[in-house]
Amino acid sequence: MADELTIPLHLAQRLRERGVEFGFGIVGDYALRLFTDLEQDGFHIKVTADEQGAAFAADAYARLRGLGVVAVTYGVGGLKIANTVAGAWAEQVPLLVISGAPGLRERAGDVMLHHKIKNFDSQLAVFEELTIAQAVLANPAIAADEIDRVIAEVLSEQRPGYLEIPRDMVEVPIAPPRGKLRQHLPIVNEAHLEAAVEDAIDHLRDSESSVMHLGVMAWRRGLGPEVIAAAQWANAPVATSSLSRGVLSERHPLSLGVYMGAVSPAEVVDKVENAATIVSVGVLNTDLTMGAFTAHLDPNRRIDVHDDEVTVGMRTYKEVPLWAFVPALAEAAGKAGLHPLDPISAPMRTRHPFDAQPGKPLSVARFITAIDAHLDERHGLLVDPGECLFASVDLTSPNWCLASAYYATMGYAVPASLGAGLAQPELRPVVLVGDGAFAMTGLEAASVRFHGVKPVIVVLDNEGYGTQRPMMDGSYNDIPHISAEKLPDVFGVGHGWLATTEDELDAALTEAMATDELCIIRAVVPKHDRSPALTRLTDALKKRV
């Protein structure tokens, strides 16, 4: 038996081949044997406080490593992660769900087993709506091929996938796969590709000014170096979307910062919207990433590069995928006699020092300035939806910045810091989270520390759901008070600070950044204070409520 292939053994092998070192999840009796055998086969599941927290951690891991795994039990575990998997679908994250399930034999007679809903396929039906590929591993003759099919679809489409494993199938010998696991990229029409590149080069050559708007699919397809080369040759400074902060450091000489329509600083909006040519690479044009559709980007001046086609002005080239077009454009631009950007010694955006005023109460704007001044190349940034996400457009993130920036599910950032910290342990996670979002998943900070990650978590406390207040206020925006800075005492590990003034925040950040331990800072701002970015966004949204 030891030499025979089983579902856990094949699954562990395939995940390691893709650079996935471990998953995140919570066990239950339907998954006990599965978790045990995965662990014996060298694939460990990192336990979190709640299943949703595990899925957020796996989501962040996937964004940085190219694939993430969340493992749960049937029903009560699986349905808890439905929201997170929905977010992974919306934001095109390659997240693999592995769920234990009741055994095939014990389902006979449609008995009422615990965690069952309407029928034994109810959980599968839910995930058919949320994932690109699904499989219930009930047939040992094809189980390995089904695992390969689902993983291949996840990688090819950059969408979540679902594997359900009945517990009496875990140790059943299975047939070996009939082939290798192959990722299928969108097909290329070489003639269309050549024509699209030539059209784009002609467009750029005749353009008085160009910018590049960099989207999340450029990141998902691993095109960072090619994008930077193309931008350099095309004389195009780069603005990222709020979903792609990490393809290019915001302290890179080419960086303009984040473009989110009216949410962004005026100088970013001006440079992007008034450029003669806008090269849009893998951008998801959503309401939030486009500032409630306040973006004004003339289609006649755009080169739109999508995952499977390219549009230059009003001409669309089918079967020209992003992964093939961007390197071809970079190569052609280098030979086309364009006027590349000269090497620049300083970034286009200025990073301002934080001159803390003793005793002066904090504001959101000054909170952001303080964070920006303390972030450096040692840090990765995670921001939660709400004020932290919108205000962060004024930050210059030195590395990646992860967020649920389109699906906008609150509570993402704290548990995501576990996945991010393990995916890239050389960078320390810095988390910006509102008090409302922290109330949802803040206890996951204990899980993060338990697994050896030591983030700096900064809670922006504005007494409730500050994002909604400017649109419409009421008691529904008020939440219980939490002294988040005291949680390290509850956990028995870490350090906490309360900051109500500029100098208190500056001192807390200075100490936290120098402390190799879990750090939680609660920064208190006035209840109705808001960032300029949020003001611009909510003014736009208010008209639609």
Question: What band does 476 get if pLDDT is binned at 50, 70 and 90?
Answer: confident
User: Is the separation of the CB atoms in 386 and 461 below 8 Å?
Assistant: no
Reduce the DSSP state of residue 135 to 3 states and report it.
strand
Return phi, psi of residue 402, to 5°: -100, 140
Residue 339 has pLDDT above 80, yes or no: no
Q: How confident is the model at residue 542 (pLDDT cuts 50, 70, 90)?
A: low
pLDDT of residue 350: 65
Asked if 537 and 461 sit in the same domain, the reply is: yes
In this structure, are 12 and 155 located in the same domain?
yes
CA-to-CA dists, residue 392 to 253, 254, 371, 413, angstroms = 19, 19, 9, 13
Indicate if 326 and 423 belong to the same structural domain: no
* Residue 419 and residue 532 share a domain: yes
Task: Quote the domain boundaries for residue 100.
Answer: 7-169
pLDDT per residue over 306-319, tens digit each?
999 999 989 999 99
Taking 90 as the threshold, does the pLDDT of residue 77 lie above it? yes
Which contiguous run of DSSP H or E holds residue 402? strand 401-402
Which pLDDT band holds residue 474 (cuts at 50, 70, 90)?
confident
**Is 1 a domain residue?**
no
Taking 50 as the threshold, does the pLDDT of residue 11 lie above it? yes
State the pLDDT confidence band at 293, using cuts at 50, 70 and 90: confident
The residues, any chain, with a CB within 8 Å of residue 335's CB and separated by 6 or more, are none
What average pLDDT does range 95-117 have in this prediction?
90
**pLDDT exceeds cutoff 60 at 175:** yes
* Residues 6+ away with beta carbon under 8 Å from 118: none
pLDDT at 469 over 60: yes
Residue 97, beta-bridge partner list: 70, 162
Does 484 score more than 60 pLDDT? yes
Q: pLDDT-derived band of residue 541, with 50, 70 and 90 as boundaries?
A: low
Does pLDDT of 349 surpass 70? Answer: no
In this model, does residue 545 exceed pLDDT 80?
no
Residues 370 and 506 in one domain: yes
Question: Tens digit of pLDDT for each residue in 31-59?
Answer: 999 999 999 999 999 999 999 999 999 99
- The answer as to whether 491 is a domain residue is yes
Q: Provide the 3-class DSSP secondary structure of residue 182.
A: coil
- Only one residue has tokens 């995916």, namely 423
Both 381 and 329 in a single domain? Answer: no
**Is 113 in contact with 106 (CB distance < 8 Å)?**
yes
Q: What is the mean pLDDT of the chain?
A: 92
241 and 373 inside one domain: no
Tell which of 318, 335, 352 closes a domain.
335
pLDDT mean over 184-205: 93
Q: Please classify residue 66 by burial: count the beta carbons closer than 10 Å to its beta carbon, then call 0-12 exposed, 13-18 middle and 19+ buried.
A: middle
24 close to 48: Cβ distance less than 8 angstroms: yes
Tokens 């060298």, residue located = 42
Which domain CATH number covers 317? Answer: 3.40.50.1220
Q: In three state form, how does the secondary structure of 34-46 look?
A: HHHHHHHCCCEEE
Kindly indicate the confidence band of residue 543, based on its pLDDT and cuts at 50, 70 and 90: low
Domain count within the chain:
3
Residue 464: half-sphere exposure toward Cβ, Cα within 13 Å: 14
Beta strands in 18-80 (DSSP E): 22-25, 44-47, 68-72
155 and 99, same domain (yes or no): yes
Q: How many CA atoms lie within 13 A of 214 on its CB side?
A: 32
Mean pLDDT of 148-155: 97
Beta-bridged to residue 238, according to DSSP, are 212, 255
pLDDT score recorded for residue 1:
44
- pLDDT score for 346: 46
CATH of residue 373: 3.40.50.970
Do 325 and 424 belong together in one domain?
Answer: no
Tell me the pLDDT tens digit for each residue of 59-75. 999 999 999 999 999 99
pLDDT band at 345 (very low <50, low <70, confident <90, very high): very low
Same domain, residue pair 38 and 142: yes
- Specify if 183 maps to a domain: no
Q: Are residues 203 and 165 in the same domain?
A: no
Residue 30 contacts residue 58 (beta carbons within 8 Å): no
Distance CA(115)–CA(72), nearest Å, equals: 12
Domain membership of residue 234 (yes or no) is yes
Query: Is residue 351 one of the residues assigned to a domain?
Result: no
Q: What is the mean pLDDT of residues 149-176?
A: 97
- Looking at per-residue pLDDT, the higher value among 137 and 185 belongs to 137
Residue 327 sits in the same domain as residue 394: no
Task: Report which DSSP code applies to 187.
Answer: P
Question: Quick check: 399 pLDDT over 70?
Answer: yes
Q: Quick check: is 341 in a domain?
A: no
Sign of the torsion angle spanned by Cα atoms 309, 310, 316, 320: negative
Nearest to 239 by CA among 327, 371, 331, 349: 349
- Considering the domain boundaries, does residue 342 fall inside one? no
pLDDT, position 292: 81
- Number of Cβ within 10 Å of residue 383's Cβ equals 32
- With a cut of 80, say whether residue 470 has pLDDT above it: no
> Does the residue 359 lie in any domain?
no
